[in-house]
Amino acid sequence: MRAALDGRGRVGLVPTMGYLHEGHAALIRRARQTTDRVVVSVFVNPLQFGKNEDLGRYPRDLERDLRVAGEAGADVVFHPEPDLMYPAGFASTVQVAGVSEPLDGAARPGHFAGVATVVLKLLNLVQPTQAFFGEKDWQQLAVVRRMVADLNVPAEIVGVPTVRADSGLALSSRNSYLSPEQQAQATALSAALRGVQEAYAAGERDVAVLKRIGLDILGRDSAVQPEYLSVVGPDLTEPAVLSAHPLNRVLVAARVGGVRLIDNLPLLPASASGLGRADAPL
């Protein structure tokens, strides 16, 4: 893989599971700004899907992926087959303790081991200077950063703010499962996050109060089935009272029409620019 890049200049990697949308395009454009060669990987990673999850029906459209990647500025699209990534006899996985354990780690056992394993393989194959991840998967970003720091991987991990529809719904490949009515219902997730964000900006620091505000908003629509709404500090644990930190976050997972969606927003003081209008970059 690395030979295809001619060994010239800074290399940016954008790991994806395909079915690219504007959120992925934003990652590619960000990579284009700071690196000389941009690689987009398209690989639906079986290791990060649990039993009864949607591996078989996860949306796939390589022709669309090639078009979106090219228009956004990618130089190379790496689309390996599962047998290349996990050949016969493959027996190694990467476990990242701590940040991988709560939230989606508890809801989807084994998920982050699959994420960490495939990301490390991609980093080894491409050897990028920087790798770009969307902040919508905030816990995934934290897991990858911890792994890279712990294992001395010589790549900078860059978080890119979530891209949203005009309705506030975070863009996701899984949104393709939703009907127009369900997409409207799914905006309850971002509305709940904004409610918590605004209360925090107004001075509320009691985590139980902040969570109740968000859950009350989610509860207004019976079509939305929350799995968790969590207010966390930089280590992704949930204290009783939040101390000031730029990595404080409110995260949510919920099902709409049986489709599992996740989202998050930063918790920043009222003086922080952009509060309530967009995600804040790391």
Q: Active-site residues: which are they?
A: 24
3-state secondary structure of 72: helix
C-alpha to C-alpha distance for 54 and 261, rounded to whole angstroms: 13
3-state secondary structure of 113: helix
Give residue for tokens 């409610």: 195
Query: What's the one-letter identity of residue 107?
Result: A
Give residue for tokens 């990579």: 31
C-alpha to C-alpha distance for 213 and 281, rounded to whole angstroms: 24
Q: Of 190, 206, 202, 196, whose CA–CA distance to 250 is shortest?
A: 196
3-state secondary structure of 27: helix
92, two tokens: 């190694």
C-alpha to C-alpha distance for 60 and 207, rounded to whole angstroms: 39
| Dihedral, 63, 166, 231, 216 alpha carbons, nearest 10 | -120
C-alpha to C-alpha distance for 113 and 263, rounded to whole angstroms: 21
Q: Of 229, 238, 139, 223, whose CA–CA distance to 193 is shortest?
A: 229
Phi/psi at 13 (5° precision)? -115, 130
